[in-house]
Chains A and B, each alone.
Chain A
Amino acid sequence: MTEALLFVASGLALLALVAVLAWPRRADLPGNATHGEIPDLSHEDLAPRHAKYFPLIRQALEGSDLAQLGRRIPSGTRRRLRSERRKLARRYLAGLREDFLRLERFGRMVAALSPKVDARQEAERLRLGIRFRVVYAAVSMRLAFGQIPVPAFERLTSFVGSLAIRLDASMATVLEPRPPQASANLGA
């Protein structure tokens, strides 16, 4: 009986998955952008949009101000300030995730439009994407419990920034000889 129940439970989960996968995506609906026309893979769009705001975020996240204020302000206000800081850090992390996902999506689109792909490269990108999501969830949870490691945030931010600069150079060399229609697809 356990095996039958297991099959039924897995079956229901699979039915839900099939419904999600078979449902048309926004890009497939009439009037919306198709795969070949998705325009947001230009050099500018690949640049990290959120990393550049780090100096401002850092200022807001620095613990010293709050520690100094802590002696003078009431505990209710201090709690509210801490909560605001956590919210800010979470939003910033979500922005960095957006930057990562854009780069990852770019990789998948290059693969989709390539006449040959390497199975190992694709497997690695899939693994990295899964790993990033897991670690991201763990970091988000940590933030939810009130820990904000500012120096580590800074390292992560400068790294995301450097990704785009190097990628921009690679794209420029790779996309030069492409035919006009294909270039338009990548916004080059």
Chain B
Amino acid sequence: MQLSHVSYAIWIVTTGLEVLVCALIYRRGLYRRLPFFAAYLTVLVASEGLAWAVYGVFGFGSWTAYDYGWIAHAILLAARGLAIAELCFRMLRSYPGIWALAWRILLAVSFVFLLHAAVESASRPYWLGTFVLALDRDLELTATGVLIVLLLIGRYYTLEMNSLERRIAGGLCFLSVVVVMTNAVMVQAMARHLTSWLAYAAWMADAQTWWNSARGLAAVSVLAMWALALRKPIAAERPAPVLLPDSAYRELSPALNFRLRALNTRLLELLKS
């Protein structure tokens, strides 16, 4: 099995953009602010270089390439997980009250999705391909869930979030959503084509081109967005906001909630009258 010309073209563009973004991260000093994200991009570039070497020596359809592909993918998933955790901390740490609340929510979201991943993967033990894809899909779903909750918390509390960090979070989330969608379609399609090995092999060649292209195009869009964001020197960090005394929340919040609750009741009366 060989990669199609389209897949090669997308792969070359993706690798080029990954190298560019990685170089910009070090040039702009973003590695000091987001070390795990910088490490993730570095691992990504290194894995792409190794992939070119492995595919060149052993061929794209070889078992060595297959094993390498999934091992690299697992390492990248772990690196991305750390980068996401770092983003959550960076974006919320200036707000200790919200951070104390948010990390529990984010942990609960991760737990729920990981539990879903475990259950879903365990229910597909009959074939390694669908098992790995289902697991991959659900791990990406976890990343999506955590990032969306993070952005929602930021929007709900109108927190000041650095524009670059928000773009990085948005980009990672976009990538995860595309992976979830493509994997979901592949898992279903694989299960349908498993009845005949010959038909499966013929279908797989086409499907893989489609799968690689969809993921590749998503990666190109996100990397281009990050490269654009990093084309100028990154802005200095805003000073942390001055916090209110402890008593402000203790006194105002229950009073406000009481009033909002009562206002809701009045509005409901208006509806019923």
Contact = CB atoms under 8 A, between A and B. Distances in A.
A155 interface: yes
Contacts, number: 225
A152 interface: yes
B243 interface: yes
Interface string B187-200: 11100100000000
A177 B245 CA distance: 8
B174 interface: yes
A115 to B, nearest CB: 5
B261 interface: yes
A108 interface: yes
Interface string B242-271: 111111110111111101111110111111
A175 B246 CA distance: 11
A139 interface: yes
Interface string A150-183: 0111011001100100110011011101110110
B132 interface: no
Contacts of B148: 14, 17-18, 21
Contacts of A182: 242-244
A53 interface: no
Contacts of A71: none
A185 to B, nearest CB: 7
Category for how many chain A residues contact B: 35 or more
A21 B151 CA distance: 6
A54 interface: no
B152 interface: yes
B101 interface: yes
21 contacts: A4-B185, A4-B188, A8-B185, A14-B177, A18-B170, A19-B170, A22-B166, A22-B170, A28-B160, A28-B163, A106-B256, A107-B252, A111-B97, A113-B242, A113-B244, A113-B248, A115-B246, A117-B253, A156-B263, A159-B266, A179-B242
Given A4-B185, A103-B260, A110-B244, 11 more contacts: A18-B148, A28-B166, A103-B256, A111-B253, A113-B244, A117-B98, A132-B264, A149-B270, A166-B255, A167-B259, A173-B251
List 8 A-B pairs, minimum CB-CB distance, nearest first: A22-B170, A7-B184, A114-B249, A21-B151, A11-B181, A117-B97, A152-B273, A4-B188
